[in-house]
Amino acid sequence: MTLTPISPLKAQSLGGDGARLVDIRSPEEFAFNNVPGAENRPLATIEPFEDARDVVFICRTGRRSEMNAPELAALTKGKAYRLDGGIVGWRAAGLPLAVDRSGALELDQQALIVSGALVIVSALFAVIVTGWYFLLAVAVGADLIYRGRTERSVIEKALRLFPWNRGK
């Protein structure tokens, strides 16, 4: 089974017609910004749906939903869709988002800032201290490639341990 990709406008229309909008991102990502009316059911803990309503699965870019399409489609008795472009596509379509800017930066923003800082520090230390510090920049680059392919990151996982990223 697969998930049918639908545009943000079609997803908004389906939500208004009674379809279930399900955001499979982590609670931290969901708290930062989400589609109004969507329910948060993180991918790691999602359970099958009891009713036969159609379901639109939402993630950040659409990739997470696409990668887990067979498992997600099996959870619903109704039609199963994935939001094409995810939250990023929803925002690009000019549709409203519920946004909470009261806390720290979004986790992916924090990860990019830390990645950039680590590359700068490793380059400086490679010139000043020893050339072996270039390996830190290589590790950061590898993490960015891994994140680009899987939407997971070692740096993001480490950042989740900080108190301002817990329990949001």
Domain with residue 75: its CATH number is: 3.40.250.10
Residue 12 confidence class, pLDDT cut points 50, 70, 90: very high
Annotated catalytic residue: which of 59, 111, 137, 140? 59
Closest alpha carbon to 82 in 55, 106, 104: 55
Give yes or no: 72 in active site.
no
Is residue 129 classed exposed, middle or buried when 0-12, 13-18 and 19+ CB atoms within 10 A define those classes? exposed
Residues 150 and 78 in one domain: no
Residues 78 and 145 in one domain: no
Residues 155 and 119 in one domain: yes
Q: Which positions ≥6 away from 133 have C-beta within 8 Å? A: 122, 123, 125, 126
Residues 73 and 136 in one domain: no
Which residue range is the domain that position 56 belongs to? 4-99
Residues 118 and 57 in one domain: no
Residue 55 CA to residue 46 CA, distance in Å, equals 13
149 vs 166, which has greater pLDDT?
Answer: 149
Lowest mean pLDDT among 29-33, 57-61, 94-98, 136-140: 29-33
Residues 115 and 75 in one domain: no
Q: What's the number of domains the chain is made of?
A: 2
Where among 99, 127, 157 does a domain terminate?
99
Report, in angstroms and rounded to the nearest whole number, the Rg of the chain calculated over CA atoms.
19
Where among 99, 116, 136 does a domain terminate?
99
Where among 99, 116, 137 does a domain terminate?
99
pLDDT of 128 reads 94
Residues 160 and 131 in one domain: yes
Residues 16 and 62 in one domain: yes
Residues 140 and 161 in one domain: yes
pLDDT of 168 reads 45
Residues 64 and 87 in one domain: yes
Residues 39 and 63 in one domain: yes
> What mean pLDDT is reported for the chain?
90
Question: Strand 39-40 vs strand 98-99: parallel, antiparallel, or unpaired?
Answer: unpaired
Residues 93 and 113 in one domain: no
